[in-house]
């Protein structure tokens, strides 16, 4: 796994060994960032369920002003910090060692994010739990782009029920990215 573009281009990133994380492949990451390329420079980026930090690091490498990484696994947090140091992006990255909902509540009142990405473990309903927590805070506005990764079998009815508008779904072989915004 590597950084695709920007200031840290081609640098290899560490991942946690084993089945605790499911890193987004370089090909899927490249497709995702091609879709949001114009939204990245100067943005404030929130990476929930960060794993190795590859998505937030890609955003920083491409010009995000700040990225907040949220991960509850100790090994994953160590890898995120190592990857930030290795890519020389640590000065713009904030790592929170906690679960997504706790982080969302701790970040409330500290400004909204331009882009929020989440890649929770599949088929556990964590996307809905995180969206509900986001809905209750000021972390996202009607202009915030929220993207979550999910298995292809995920029923997306909950998105609108929670007050978000899905506007794009990009399907891959085994998973999908769902793009949504907070309903006005």
Tens-place pLDDT, residues 99-153: 999 999 999 999 999 999 999 999 999 999 999 999 999 999 999 999 999 999 9
Burial of 157 by CB count in 10 Å (0-12 exposed, 13-18 middle, 19+ buried)? exposed
| Domain annotation covers residue 183 | no
pLDDT at site 162: 96
pTM of the model: 0.93
The DSSP bridge partners found for residue 96 are 70
Q: Residue 60: which pLDDT band, with cuts at 50, 70 and 90?
A: very high
Structure tokens at 35: 């879709």
| Domain annotation covers residue 148 | yes
| Domain annotation covers residue 41 | no
pLDDT at site 161: 96
pLDDT exceeds cutoff 60 at 72: yes
Number of domains in the chain: 1
Domain interval for residue 109: 47-175
Other Cβ atoms less than 10 A from the Cβ of 123: the count is 11
Instruction: Compute the average pLDDT of residues 159-174.
Output: 95
pLDDT exceeds cutoff 80 at 68: yes
User: Could you give the percent of the chain with pLDDT greater than 90?
Assistant: 82
| Domain annotation covers residue 8 | no
Residue 105: HSE in the Cβ half-sphere, 13 Å Cα cutoff: 7
pLDDT at site 4: 79
pLDDT at site 22: 62
Residue 161: HSE in the Cβ half-sphere, 13 Å Cα cutoff: 7
Other Cβ atoms less than 10 A from the Cβ of 46: the count is 31
Label the pairing between strands 175-182 and 164-171.
antiparallel
| Domain annotation covers residue 182 | no
Angle in degrees, CA 93, 15, 52, rounded to 5: 30
Alpha helices in 62-125 (DSSP H): 74-86, 100-107
pLDDT at site 18: 63
103: CATH = 3.40.50.150
| Domain annotation covers residue 38 | no
pLDDT at site 20: 55
Structure tokens at 50: 């960060």
Q: Does an H or E element contain 21, and which?
A: none
Q: Does an H or E element contain 96, and which?
A: strand 93-97
| Domain annotation covers residue 100 | yes
pLDDT exceeds cutoff 90 at 27: no
pLDDT exceeds cutoff 60 at 82: yes
């Amino acid at each position: 796994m590597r950084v695709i573009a920007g200031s840290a281009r081609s640098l290899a990133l560490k991942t946690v060994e084993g089945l605790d994380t499911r890193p987004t492949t370089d090909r899927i990451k490249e497709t995702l960032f091609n879709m949001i390329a114009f939204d990245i420079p100067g943005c404030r980026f929130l990476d929930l369920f960060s794993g190795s930090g590859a998505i937030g690091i890609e955003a920083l490498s491409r010009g995000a002003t700040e990225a907040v990484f949220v991960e509850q696994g100790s090994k994953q947090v160590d890898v995120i910090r190592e990857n930030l140091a290795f890519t020389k992006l640590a000065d713009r990255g904030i790592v929170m060692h906690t679960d997504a909902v706790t982080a969302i509540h701790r970040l409330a009142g500290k400004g909204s994010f331009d882009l929020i990405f989440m890649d929770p473990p599949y088929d556990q309903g964590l996307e809905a739990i995180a969206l509900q927590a986001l809905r209750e805070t000021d972390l996202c506005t009607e202009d915030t782009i929220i993207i979550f990764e999910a298995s292809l079998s995920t029923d997306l009815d909950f998105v609108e029920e929670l007050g978000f508008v899905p506007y794009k779904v990009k399907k891959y072989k085994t998973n999908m990215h769902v793009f949504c915004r907070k309903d006005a």
